[in-house]
């Protein structure tokens, strides 16, 4: 991960700019640089992953362009082959963006990238500042307007709070051409659906996920793995272990000191794969002590995002404090493609597909946001194989009938894709997964709810309807606790997040008032 700030030059105040840039330093503590050009001032905090030398430091300047990019360009070697005549100065994967922009223009450049990225580029020839973000929104970026109407960009919203009155998330799959925002890719929208047999779909899913993991193993810095013991993170680890049989993976798990459901399963996977496995335990006191920092880091008030982030934040903090790792592979983005517990209640294939499309488009506000902020706040880079564009687009194109739960087992197609292949023990491959906030121990959510009960009365909750009614007012004392902390840091900015993450309330058995799968009738063996 890296962090950047880009502001209009005429609005440049050194002290304010330095303070804004400092708010992204946790994303990139290795090196810091600023560069003023004719129309803008660039600031960059680097976490060195590719080309660890100073040559890989940004901003990059070449061909009358200046660039900052927080990203991983997985096909950069292939792209460099189309850039004969350009003399590369570093081994950084992001340096190729400038000659790509010059050769192909903004639209084609963005469409050529197999990548996770957020970039801002100043074109001296046109004197325009342009920007773009990857289709899933893996890398964060916000933009804002100051009182003079000038546009600024930053990796996090907090970095723009002092300079911009109006701040918005930069939409995934879009670029800004200096005048308007343009959608160049929507991975949730499939041009033509495919009708493979289950066996054909399973083979393709396996091939594409393996390819997605493989390309994310390349780094000049050491790599580790989050291993919850559930299906998704276990598959990522098992694929990596098969791809690198000569290496001993470093895996990490966390659980509460009471009933940490997944720790035993993570241990089983680690023993099966032969990883160098580390477990951390967190207490109620640690959870409550971290809550304010977690919400400040996340820039959200969403219930399920915050619940799931506490454990992940503390785990990444411990990894940062106790290891030399820089890159972390994680298992996010599978549920949006293959289904949640609540999508078992989808009334038909059309509704299942619509729900999946909605979740993929909103990933950047929920699971992807959680993974990015929890990992990057602890000076690590997160990589998400399930969000690989080729993988996402294929799974979204499969006949949704194949993805619906008709076998009494969620994500059946994904499980079958790796069955009898030696990747995982059968009991892990077929185990129902609990939500992360439950899997680290049911006591985590219970402790947060109990703490909120001590903070607020029923009257406080009633007043919150008026106080925060401008956008999705709190409806429980727990949600009031989170909103109060959020508004303290980011007053009046709640619209950064569209809504509370909740099951589809229009479906039978899904009209619940809590986002946890624990409240659903089909929770069953999940989390046991």
Strands across the sheet containing 142-145 = 31-36, 40-46, 3-8, 151-154, 142-145, 166-169
What pLDDT digit, counting tens, does each position of 318-343 carry? 999 999 999 999 999 999 999 999 99
Q: How does residue 524 score in pLDDT terms, banded at 50, 70 and 90?
A: low
Kindly state the average pLDDT of the residues 9-16. Answer: 77
* pLDDT value at 388 more than 90: yes
Provide, rounded to the nearest whole percent, the portion of the chain with pLDDT above 90. Answer: 85
Instruction: Fold for 210-519, please state it.
Output: Rossmann fold (3.40.50)
pLDDT band at 312 (very low <50, low <70, confident <90, very high): very high
Residue 315 backbone dihedrals phi, psi, to 5 degrees: -65, -45
pLDDT mean over 41-70: 95
Residue 528, pLDDT score: 56
Whether 13 shows a pLDDT value over 80: the answer reads no
Residue-by-residue DSSP string for 262-298: THHHHHHHHHHHT-EEEEEEE-HHHHHHHHHHHHHHH
Residue 47 and residue 33 in contact, taking contact as beta carbons nearer than 8 Å: no
Q: Which two tokens stand for residue 88?
A: 């590369």
Q: What is the pLDDT of residue 195?
A: 94
Q: Dihedral sign for Cα 225, 229, 233, 235, please.
A: positive
232: phi > 0 → left, psi -120 to 50 → alpha, else beta; which?
A: alpha
| Residue 434 pLDDT | 60
Confidence at residue 408, expressed as pLDDT on a 0 to 100 scale = 86
Average pLDDT, the chain: 94
Alpha helix positions (H), 216-348: 231-243, 263-273, 284-298, 303-322, 335-338
How far is the C-alpha of 252 from the C-alpha of 223, rounded, in Å?
12
Tokens of 436: 């992360």
pLDDT tens digits along 357-374: 999 999 999 999 999 999
Residue 436 predicted with pLDDT over 60: no
> Residue 433: what pLDDT?
63
Mean pLDDT of 55-62: 95
Round to whole Å and give the CA distance between 370 and 394: 24
The predicted pLDDT at position 526 comes to: 56
Domain edges within the chain:
3-183, 210-519
* 3 state SS for 439-491: HCCHHHHHHHHHHHHHHCCHHHHHHHHHHCCCCCCCCCHHHHHHHHHHHHHCC
Give me the mean pLDDT over the 74-87 stretch. 93
pLDDT tens-place string over residues 496-520 = 999 999 999 999 999 999 998 888 8
Q: Decide: 189 and 145 in contact? Cβ < 8 Å.
A: no
Q: Is the pLDDT of residue 271 over 60?
A: yes
pLDDT score at 19: 95
Mean pLDDT for the stretch of residues 235-256: 96
- Quick check: 527 pLDDT over 90? no
**CATH topology for the 3-183 domain:** 3.60.20
- Give me the pLDDT at residue 432, please: 74
Kindly give, in sequence order, each residue whose CB lies less than 8 Å from that of residue 204, ignoring residues fewer than 6 positions away.
196, 394
- Give the pLDDT confidence score for residue 161 in this predicted structure: 95
Helices 284-298, 442-455: crossing angle, 10 deg rounding: 80
At CA 118, angle to CA 113 and CA 120, rounded to 5? 105
Give the tens place of pLDDT for each residue, 103-143: 999 999 999 999 999 999 999 999 999 999 999 999 999 99
Q: Is 225 helix (H, G, I), strand (E, B) or coil?
A: strand
Look up residue 44 and give its two tokens.
């960059």
Instruction: Tell me the catalytic residues.
Output: 2
Query: What is the average pLDDT across 299-324?
Result: 97
* Sign, Cα dihedral of 403, 408, 410, 415: negative
Q: Which residues pair with 217 in a beta bridge?
A: none
pLDDT score for 523:
74
Mean pLDDT across 198-226:
96
d(CA 2, CA 30): 9
CA distance 29 to 500: 33
What would the mean pLDDT of 84-101 be, rounded to a whole number? 94
Q: Which of 17, 23, 21 is nearest to 32 (CA)?
A: 21
């Amino acid at each position: 991960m890296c962090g950047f700030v880009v502001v209009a030059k005429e609005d440049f105040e050194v002290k304010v700019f330095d303070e804004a840039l400092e708010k992204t330093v946790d994303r990139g503590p290795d090196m810091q640089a600023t560069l003023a050009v004719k129309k803008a001032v660039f600031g960059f905090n680097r976490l060195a992953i590719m080309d660890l030398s100073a040559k890989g430091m940004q901003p990059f300047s070449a061909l009358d362009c200046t660039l900052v990019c927080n990203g991983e360009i997985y096909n950069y070697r292939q792209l460099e082959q189309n850039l004969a005549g350009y003399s590369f100065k570093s081994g950084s994967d992001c340096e190729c963006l400038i000659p790509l922009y010059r050769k192909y223009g903004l639209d084609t450049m963005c469409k050529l990238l197999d990548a996770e990225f957020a970039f801002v580029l100043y074109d001296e020839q046109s004197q325009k500042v342009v920007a773009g973000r990857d289709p899933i929104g893996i890398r964060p970026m916000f933009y804002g307007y100051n009182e003079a109407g000038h546009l600024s960009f930053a990796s996090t919203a907090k970095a723009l709070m002092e300079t911009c009155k109006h701040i918005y998330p930069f939409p995934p799959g879009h670029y800004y051409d200096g005048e308007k925002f343009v959608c160049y890719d929507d991975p949730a929208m499939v041009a033509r659906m495919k009708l493979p047999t289950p066996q054909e779909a399973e083979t393709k899913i396996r091939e594409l996920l393996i390819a997605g993991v493989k390309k994310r193993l390349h780094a000049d810095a050491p790599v580790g793995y989050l291993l919850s013991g559930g299906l998704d993170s276990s598959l990522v680890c098992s694929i990596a272990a098969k791809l690198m049989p000569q290496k001993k993976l470093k895996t990490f798990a966390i659980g509460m000191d009471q009933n940490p459901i997944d720790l035993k399963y993570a241990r089983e996977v680690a023993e099966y794969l032969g990883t160098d496995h580390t477990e951390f335990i967190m207490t109620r006191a640690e959870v409550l002590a971290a809550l304010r920092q977690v919400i400040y880091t996340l820039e959200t008030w969403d219930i399920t995002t915050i619940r799931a982030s506490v454990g992940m934040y503390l785990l990444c903090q411990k990894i940062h404090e106790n290891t030399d790792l820089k890159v972390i592979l994680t298992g996010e983005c599978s549920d949006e493609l293959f289904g949640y517990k609540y999508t078992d209640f989808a009334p038909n294939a059309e509704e299942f597909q619509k729900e999946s499309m909605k979740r993929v488009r909103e990933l950047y506000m929920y699971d992807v946001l959680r993974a990015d902020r929890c990992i990057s706040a602890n000076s690590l880079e997160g990589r998400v194989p399930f969000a690989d564009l080729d993988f996402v687009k294929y799974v979204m194109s499969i006949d949704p009938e194949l993805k619906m739960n008709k076998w009494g087992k969620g994500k059946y197609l994904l499980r079958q894709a790796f069955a009898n292949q030696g990747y995982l023990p059968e009991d892990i491959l077929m185990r129902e997964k609990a939500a992360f906030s439950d899997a680290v121990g049911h006591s985590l959510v219970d402790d947060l709810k109990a703490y909120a009960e001590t903070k607020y009365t029923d009257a406080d909750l009633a007043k919150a309807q008026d106080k925060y009614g401008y956008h999705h007012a709190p409806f429980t004392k727990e949600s009031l606790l989170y909103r109060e902390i959020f508004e303290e840091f980011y007053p009046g900015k709640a619209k950064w997040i569209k809504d509370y993450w909740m099951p589809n309330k229009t479906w039978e058995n899904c009209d619940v008032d809590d986002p946890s799968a624990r409240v659903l009738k089909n929770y069953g063996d999940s989390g046991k």
